[in-house]
């Protein structure tokens, strides 16, 4: 108890300190490479209107104030939505605040993925027309947009578990392997191909999380050390953004020490969803830069693979973060997923490619959306990705042009979209081969299925046409959602309310980042109902 009181006292001190932090003032005429002024883009959100840039950019504040439960979502939507929404092009049935909130709650009840959305992303959504907003579509489900899943879908459509020789490692390709170091993410994408493991259990899916443990990591590293044919590792999860800095440094250093490992990639969406973390004095950033520098010194490549899907996701904070990484020689590549209503037009995809290249992020892949549960409203026919590549190629420099690929259901791996063996647009079935894999896999024929043609029109159906399953978890009904959590907010408890970040394992030390004092960084209390944002934020 004494320890808890000490922590709470230190938090109270930090709250008092933050009240003395000057508000961010955009007095500078500075503009970014994309012509943006350095000024707040979040102060139109009621909860964030008085939050200074110093606090808003802090990744711990972002983590604590992320929305991940229905009651908090309702509180947020009640404040941010107008009573009447702008006319939607995709759902004429959602026209008011109450209709949208009910639609979102019903969508959460049947979704296979939980929600977690950062304030950074919430600030970028057009809340006057959230139904059609490309960021809302990626992270917040709606009942009105729900379309029955394709009959060919399986929970692990890429058969990653079949290609896992030890827990936490996927070894499908010759010379390459995927190291799943965690199942925690700063946000939960609706279209996540690893929905079988990420995001916690839902009423419709029981997850198989890859929880971090020292023993599991050592088992994976031992396998990699034994398999001398492996030269390339993807360090992923989950999301490496929530690996403790010393754990990131430990895993990266161990990989660099293995003689036959020539390169490894750190997979994280963090740059797109909480870019303020990328600063000179941040321990995670320091660990990344240290690994990149160490790799160059011994002739091995360490790079970051991130994940932007729409130009709106790139803010001036993103640009400053990308400039910092570029200054320190960190290679950053982007992998997008093709999503209907998000980036499925040549104009949007071209703008995304150009804007990424302008801030020294290499457009690397555009993926055809996988056969994931609950996202038929986001999937596009194969013809869309083929058309995009044809129209975009030649309009951007060759080194800026990403590869448009299909990750084959059944474990066939990534194939360039135009290398299909056949494609029947009427049935929506395409066939594929994987000649680069082992004998068993290369003899197989793989099938990718377009969404049913009727599903594209079905997205406009109203949520009132569907009945809930009796087994579904009940969520607050529309007649009482406005009363959720109206009682006095509970005091912040760091043991309960901490963000889902990885712990540091005993015996793992990281001298080059220890100087930044990561153990002294205190978490920030979350914004509570009816509390002023400034009074609930913490200083860094």
For residues 483 and 462, give the distance between their C-alpha atoms in angstroms, rounded to a whole number: 25
| Residues linked to residue 403 through DSSP beta bridges, in sequence order | 365
Q: Give the list of residues 6+ apart from residue 135 with CB closer than 8 angstroms, or none.
A: 121, 124, 125, 310, 312, 313
* SS3 of the chain: helix, strand, coil, percent, to 5: 35, 10, 50
For residues 412 and 158, give the distance between their C-alpha atoms in angstroms, rounded to a whole number: 8
Phi, psi of 229 (to 5 degrees): -75, -15
**How many separate helices (H) and strands (E) can be counted in the chain?**
19, 12
Residue 104, CA distances (Å) to 73, 75, 115, 312 in order: 9, 13, 11, 22
Q: Give the list of residues 6+ apart from residue 204 with CB closer than 8 angstroms, or none.
A: 110, 111, 112, 373, 374, 472
Q: Give the list of residues 6+ apart from residue 56 with CB closer than 8 angstroms, or none.
A: 24, 40, 42, 48, 62, 119, 120, 276
Q: Which long-range contacts (CB under 8 A, 24 or more apart) does 206-212 make?
A: 207/183, 208/161, 209/183, 210/167, 210/168, 210/180, 210/181, 210/182, 210/183, 210/237, 210/238, 211/182, 211/183, 212/181, 212/182, 212/243, 212/247, 212/502, 212/503, 212/505
CA angle 230/236/241 to nearest 5° reads 140
Q: Give the list of residues 6+ apart from residue 6 with CB closer than 8 angstroms, or none.
A: none
For residues 99 and 275, give the distance between their C-alpha atoms in angstroms, rounded to a whole number: 32
For residues 299 and 159, give the distance between their C-alpha atoms in angstroms, rounded to a whole number: 34
The two three-digit tokens of residue 340, written as one number: 């209907």
Phi, psi of 333 (to 5 degrees): -120, 155
Helix axes 382-392, 346-358, angle to 10 degrees: 60
For residues 260 and 225, give the distance between their C-alpha atoms in angstroms, rounded to a whole number: 8
Residue pair 377/340 in contact (Cβ under 8 Å)? The answer is yes
What's the 3-state SS for 156-223? Answer: CCCCCHHHCCCCCEECCCCCEEEEECCCCCCCCCCCCCCCCCCCCCCCCCCCCCCCCCHHHHHHHHHH
Q: List active site positions.
A: 172-173, 176, 185, 189, 192, 194, 370, 407, 414
Report DSSP state, residue 473.
P
Which secondary structure element, helix H or strand E, spans residue 102, and what is its range? helix 97-110
For residues 413 and 421, give the distance between their C-alpha atoms in angstroms, rounded to a whole number: 15
Nearest Cα to Cα of residue 246 among 187, 306, 290: 290
């Amino acid at each position: 108890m004494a320890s808890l009181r000490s922590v709470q006292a230190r938090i109270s001190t930090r709250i008092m300190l933050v009240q003395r932090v000057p508000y961010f003032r955009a007095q500078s005429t500075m503009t970014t490479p994309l012509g943006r002024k350095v000024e707040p883009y979040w102060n139109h959100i009621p909860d964030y209107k008085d939050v200074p840039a110093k606090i808003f950019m802090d990744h711990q504040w972002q983590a604590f104030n992320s929305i991940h439960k229905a009651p908090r979502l309702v509180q947020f939507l009640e404040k941010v939505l107008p009573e009447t929404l702008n006319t939607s092009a995709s759902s004429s049935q959602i026209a008011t605040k109450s209709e949208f909130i009910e639609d979102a709650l019903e969508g959460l009840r049947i979704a296979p993925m939980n929600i977690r959305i950062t304030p950074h992303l919430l600030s970028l959504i057009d809340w006057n027309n959230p139904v059609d907003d490309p960021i809302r579509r990626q992270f917040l489900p709606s009942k009105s947009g729900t379309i029955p899943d394709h009959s060919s879908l399986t929970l692990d459509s890429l058969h990653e578990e079949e290609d896992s020789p030890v827990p936490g490692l996927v070894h499908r390709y010759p010379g390459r392997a995927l190291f799943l170091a965690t199942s925690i993410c700063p946000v939960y994408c609706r279209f996540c191909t690893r929905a079988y493991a990420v995001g916690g259990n839902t009423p419709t899916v029981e997850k198989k999380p890859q929880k971090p443990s020292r023993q599991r990591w050592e088992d994976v590293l031992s396998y990699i050390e034994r398999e001398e044919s492996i030269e390339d590792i993807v360090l992923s999860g989950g999301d490496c953004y929530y690996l403790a800095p010393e754990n990131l440094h430990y895993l990266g250093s161990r990989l660099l020490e293995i003689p036959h490992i020539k390169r490894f990639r750190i997979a994280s969406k963090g740059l797109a969803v909480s870019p303020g973390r990328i600063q000179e004095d941040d321990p995670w950033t320091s660990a990344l830069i240290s690994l990149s520098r160490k790799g160059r010194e011994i002739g091995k490549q360490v790079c970051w693979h991130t994940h932007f899907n729409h130009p709106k996701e790139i803010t001036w904070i993103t640009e400053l973060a990308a400039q910092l990484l570029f200054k320190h020689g960190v290679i950053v590549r982007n992998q997008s997923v093709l999503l209907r209503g998000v980036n499925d037009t040549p104009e949007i995809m071209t703008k995304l490619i150009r804007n990424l290249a302008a801030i020294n992020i290499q457009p690397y892949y555009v993926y055809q959306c996988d056969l994931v549960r609950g996202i038929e409203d986001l999937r596009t026919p194969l013809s869309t990705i083929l058309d995009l590549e044809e129209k975009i190629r030649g309009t951007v420099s060759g080194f800026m042009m990403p590869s448009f690929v299909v990750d084959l259901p059944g474990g066939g791996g990534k194939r360039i979209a135009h290398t299909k063996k056949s494609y029947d647009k009427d049935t929506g079935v395409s066939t594929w081969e994987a000649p680069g894999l082992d004998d068993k896999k290369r003899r197989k024929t793989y099938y990718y299925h377009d969404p049913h043609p009727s599903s594209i029109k079905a997205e406009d159906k109203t949520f009132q046409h569907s009945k809930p399953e009796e087994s579904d978890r009940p969520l607050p009904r529309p007649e009482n959602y406005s009363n959720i959590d109206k009682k006095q907010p509970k005091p912040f408890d760091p043991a309960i309310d901490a963000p889902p970040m990885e712990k540091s394992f005993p015996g793992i030390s990281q001298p080059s980042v220890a100087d930044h004092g990561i153990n002294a960084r205190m978490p920030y209390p979350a914004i509570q109902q009816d509390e002023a944002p400034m009074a609930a934020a913490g200083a860094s």
